[in-house]
Amino acid sequence: MRLLTKTFLILLVLWFSIHTCVTIIDGMNNTPRNADLGVVLGNKVNEDGTLSARLQKRLERALSLYQDGRIKMLLVSGGHGKEGFDEGNKMRDFLIKQGVPAGAIITDNQGDNTLKTVQNTAKLKSDYHIESIIVVSQYYHITRSKMLFRKNGFDKVFGASPNYFEWRDGYSLVREFVAFYTELLPA
């Protein structure tokens, strides 16, 4: 029994290690092709209404893609945070202040999690003629996000992440490992 448990644990650590390496490499591959839509996944808005550094870096990455002509439109998606702000509205306001026309921004304040953002984006697919997407988030979030978009009818999905790293990324890699395989389970 001990040998079986030990073997299982070794295989689990090996599986986690390989998955994590793939996630990091995929998430840091910042050479996305051109796309119809850039989807910026939300994150914390501070209590004073300012964007968290993580969220601002995501928006700056999306902004650079937009300014370079890599994406035609932006969708900013987030929920209503415990701080009392709609993340999507705050993200939109930031982009408008940076010179993005309001007509080039779709705001989703119902994107409480990645799956809801994907489902909300899928509802817009035909209205906005969305054939391709660049999802913008932290590097550890890209692989699962792309998988969810593909599962929901998007074939051309690319990722872009900001050059922003924190100590909490280690925790986030573990969380994403669990979330990735949870999303593969039947509904």
Listed by start position, the domains of the chain span 2-184
Report the pLDDT value the prediction gives residue 166, as an integer from 0 to 100.
92
Count CB neighbours of 80 within 10 A: 15
Report the pLDDT value the prediction gives residue 184, as an integer from 0 to 100.
87
The model's pLDDT over 89-110, given as tens digits with 9 standing for 90+, comes to 999 999 999 999 999 999 999 9
Pairing of the two strands 132-136 and 71-77: unpaired
Report the pLDDT value the prediction gives residue 48, as an integer from 0 to 100.
94
Band (187; pLDDT cuts 50, 70, 90):
low
Q: Please name the residues in contact with 51: beta carbons below 8 A apart, sequence gap of 6 or more.
A: 45, 59, 90, 91, 94
Could you tell me the two tokens for 178? 């669990």
Bridge partners, 160 (sequence order): 136
Q: Please name the residues in contact with 26: beta carbons below 8 A apart, sequence gap of 6 or more.
A: 142, 143, 146, 159
Band (149; pLDDT cuts 50, 70, 90):
very high
Q: Which of 187, 176, 184, 162 is nearest to 58 (CA)?
A: 162
Report the predicted TM-score, pTM, of the whole model to 2 decimal places: 0.93
The model's pLDDT over 65-76, given as tens digits with 9 standing for 90+, comes to 999 999 999 999
Name the CATH superfamily, with its identifier, for domain 2-184. Answer: HUPs (3.40.50.620)
